[in-house]
Amino acid sequence: EIVMTQSPATLSVSPGERTTLSCRASQSVNSNLAWYQQKPGQPPRLLIYGASTRATAISARFSGSGSGTEFTLTISSLQSEDFAVYYCHQYNDWPRTFGQGTKLEIK
C-alpha cells in the first residue's frame, strides 16, 4: 500500500499570507494526486486533481504542483474561509490512500 505523508500536521498562518502544504508518497503515484479541503461537519471538497488541475469553481488562489512522490498545495493570500483541514489522496494504485491531513489554522 502507498503511504501518503503530509506535513506539517498543523500550520498557523495569518490571513492574507501565502502558504504551502506538502504531501509525500512512499512510491511514485505519477500525477494521480488530488487535494481536498474539509471543514467541520462537512464532507471533503475536491480542490485539485491530476496534481495541478483545479476542480470546477475552485478559486485561482489554490494551486498544486509536483509529480512522482513529492507534491505541494499552495494557497495564496489566505482568506478566512480557507482555514480548514486539507488532505492529499493518491489514485494511482490500489488501494487508494489518503494522507493524514494538515490543519490550517488562523495565527
Partner 1 sequence: QMQLVQSGPEVKKPGTSVKVSCKASGFTFRSSAVQWVRQARGQRLEWIGWIAVGSGNTNYAQEFQERVTISRDISTSTAYMEVSSLRSDDTAMYYCAAGHYCDSWGQGTLVTVSS
Binding site for partner 1 (CB under 8 A): 1, 32, 34, 36, 38, 43-46, 49-50, 55, 87, 89, 91, 94-101
CB of 44 to partner 1, least distance (A): 6
Torsion over CA of 36, 11, 19 and 38, rounded to 10 degrees?
Answer: 20
Identify which of residues 13 and 46 has a Cβ nearer to partner 1 in the complex.
Answer: 46
Q: Give me the least distance between CB of 37 and partner 1, in Å please.
A: 11
- Which among 97, 90, 86 is positioned nearest to 10, based on CA atoms? 86
Question: Which H or E run includes 82?
Answer: none
Nearer to partner 1, 12 or 91 (CB): 91
Q: How far is the CB of 94 from partner 1 (least distance, A)?
A: 5
If the CB atoms of residues 26 and 77 are measured against partner 1, the closer one turns out to be 26
- Residue nearer to partner 1 on the CB measure, 69 or 101: 101
Instruction: Report the length, in residues, of the chain.
Output: 107
> Is 106 strand, coil or helix?
strand
